[in-house]
Amino acid sequence: MLRGYVPPYNATVVQKLLDQGALLMGKTNLDEFAMGSGSTDGVFGPVKNPWSYSKQYREKRKQKSHCENEDSNWLITGGSSGGSAAAVSAFTCFAALGSDTGGSTRNPAAHCGLVGLKPSYGLVSRHGLIPLVNSMDVPGILTRCVDDAAIVLGVLAGHDPKDSTTIQDPVKPFVLPSLTDVSKLCIGIPKEYLTPELSSEVRSLWSKAANLFESEGAKVIEVSLPHTSYSIVCYHVLCTSEVASNMARFDGLEYGHRCDIDVSTEAMYAATRREGFNDVVRGRILSGNFFLLKENYENYFVKAQKVRRLIANDFVTVFNSGVDVLLTPTTLSEAVPYTEFIKEDNRTRSAQDDIFTQAANMAGLPAVSVPMALSNQGLPIGLQFIGRAFCDQELLTIAKWFE
């Protein structure tokens, strides 16, 4: 829909970086309209994970199968901001921006061995960010270490008159102290995140990380986020409903693509949108319009908003009980080969891949994925810290100690 489109103004985040002397190297590939978790559904084709070509991974693959074609097993980056992750991971740039509505910055960060930060909702301006779910979208930051993420956040954070949801209070610079003593910290481990689908490797690294905090004197406790099991479904209803509304602006008149059909305005709208959107986008528009039908609105959209409030309250309860940060996996497993990823229907995939990440968006909380270790196959695995709203500095300080 937006192929070749050149926006007439810069997003606030881009302008802020330029104002500080940053060099904008280019735009990166992603799933169409940031809908996805693999970076396999973009208009420029799928994004390849640079780790597919690491020596260790290639040797492991070779041992497994002698006849495999070297290039046939390349791995997905995760997504939707996979191009940004690939660019940073391959050392082609210092940092990259992503968008994070349900995990799109943290998921590819975990799969590419990077730090992926989703700041608190309202800390960074969304002006110029093409919306997916306005009430959850946050510009995200991908870097190779936590300090780099803090530097970029320091540039981006703050009130923007062009985004009324940004905080009014002035923000302090994000300079991270070197934490040496974690003994006063309380780390929460949400028991609902121990799902059967979690790979054994991620599970054991997760408990290793918890043990590390404990051995350094931190209090590590099991906590409950009781509405977790409703979270994915609730996200889906809210996401598709907002998508149905947000995508209405792409009508062939104002932005981007317009088809050649000119028999009527309606026919032009329909053909433009049929040609300009991929299956994923069209599917979400249809689902969203279904949930917003007069007879469904109360039962789906309004109900999902109420459930969202319960999910957000679960976090408030846990943080009010004295927990400083939550420690969770970011993804179920390491990056999988493209051929394996596309076997599954993208709706099922999305539901699985966002399992640990989307709740922080629904609650507006800051969350960061930090590389933990390499798997047996030599691929990166990340873990996620979720913090209190607007305690991004504290969250990053703990993440820095951990990395």
Choose between 54 and 287: whose C-beta lies nearer to ligand GLN. 287
Choose between 31 and 394: whose C-beta lies nearer to ligand GLN. 31
Catalytic residue among 80, 81, 369, 375: 80
Query: Contact residues for ligand GLN (CB under 6 A)?
Result: 34-37, 80, 99-104, 132, 239, 350, 353-354
User: CB of 118: closest distance to ligand GLN in angstroms?
Assistant: 8
User: CB of 101: closest distance to ligand GLN in angstroms?
Assistant: 4
Rounded Cα distance, 350 and 361, in Å: 15
Choose between 259 and 332: whose C-beta lies nearer to ligand GLN. 332
Residue with tokens 């932005």: 255
Integer angstrom CA distances of residue 250 from 136, 139, 194, 242, 244: 21, 22, 40, 14, 11
Q: Are the C-beta atoms of 218 and 183 separated by less than 8 Å?
A: yes
- In angstroms, what is the C-alpha Rg of the chain? 21
Choose between 148 and 353: whose C-beta lies nearer to ligand GLN. 353
User: CB of 99: closest distance to ligand GLN in angstroms?
Assistant: 5
Choose between 176 and 311: whose C-beta lies nearer to ligand GLN. 311
User: CB of 217: closest distance to ligand GLN in angstroms?
Assistant: 35
Rounded Cα distance, 304 and 235, in Å: 8
The reply to whether 183 belongs to the active site is no
Integer angstrom CA distances of residue 142 from 3, 94, 145, 171, 217: 24, 9, 9, 21, 30
Q: Provide the pairing of β-strand 367-374 with 380-386.
A: antiparallel
Residue 61, H or E segment: helix 55-64
Choose between 346 and 375: whose C-beta lies nearer to ligand GLN. 346
Integer angstrom CA distances of residue 223 from 14, 192, 318, 323, 389: 39, 9, 7, 9, 18
Q: Report the Cα 361 to chain-centroid distance in Å.
A: 9
User: CB of 315: closest distance to ligand GLN in angstroms?
Assistant: 18
At residue 192, the 3 state secondary structure works out as helix
The reply to whether 241 belongs to the active site is no
User: CB of 132: closest distance to ligand GLN in angstroms?
Assistant: 5
Q: Which residues are catalytic?
A: 80, 104
